[in-house]
Amino acid sequence: MLLLRIYGREANGDSCGVAGGFAMHIVLLLYLIEGVVFGILAFVLKKKRSNYPDFTVGYHDSRLMDSAEKWNYANHLAGNLSGIFAAVFFAVSALLYCAKTSNAKALVLFFILSAIAIGGTLLLPIWLSKLKFGDPNGSMKRH
C-alpha cells in the first residue's frame, strides 16, 4: 500500500495516479518544464520586451520590425500564444496523470504538442500580421 502511494496510485484505484511509475514521472516533468518555459516566454513577450526601435528583447522577425505597431502586435500575439500553450501543457500533464496513460503515448503526445506550440508561436504572428498589415509583396493586402 505504501509503495502504491509513493508512485501516485491508491490501492483502490479511485484517485489520480501514474501507471508507469518513475519513468512516467519523468515524462510528466517534461510537460511541466515546457509549460514553465512557455509561461516565462509569455511573461517576457507581454511585459518585459524592449520598446520599439530597440529590438534587444522580444519576438524577432525582420518583417515585423518595420514599425512600432507591427512590433507590438507580434510580441503581444506571441505572448498570448505562449501563455495559452503553457496552460495547455499544465492541463495535459494533469490529465495524463489522472488518466494513467502509457509512457509511449504520453511521449508521442508531448512531441506533437511541442511541435504545434513551437510552430504556432513562431509562425502565427507572422501570418496574422500579414493579414492585418498586408504583405510587403502586395498579395495579401487587407482593405
pTM of the model as a whole: 0.75
Q: Report, as an integer, the average pLDDT of 83-99.
A: 93
pLDDT value at residue 1: 37
Per-residue cell: 121? 508561436
Q: How far apart are CA 85 and CA 10, in angstroms?
A: 31
pLDDT value at residue 16: 62
The pLDDT of residue 44 is above 60: yes
Q: Which long-range contacts (CB under 8 A, 24 or more apart) does 93-97 make?
A: 93/28, 93/31, 93/32, 93/35, 94/16, 96/27, 96/28, 96/31, 97/8, 97/16, 97/17, 97/18, 97/28
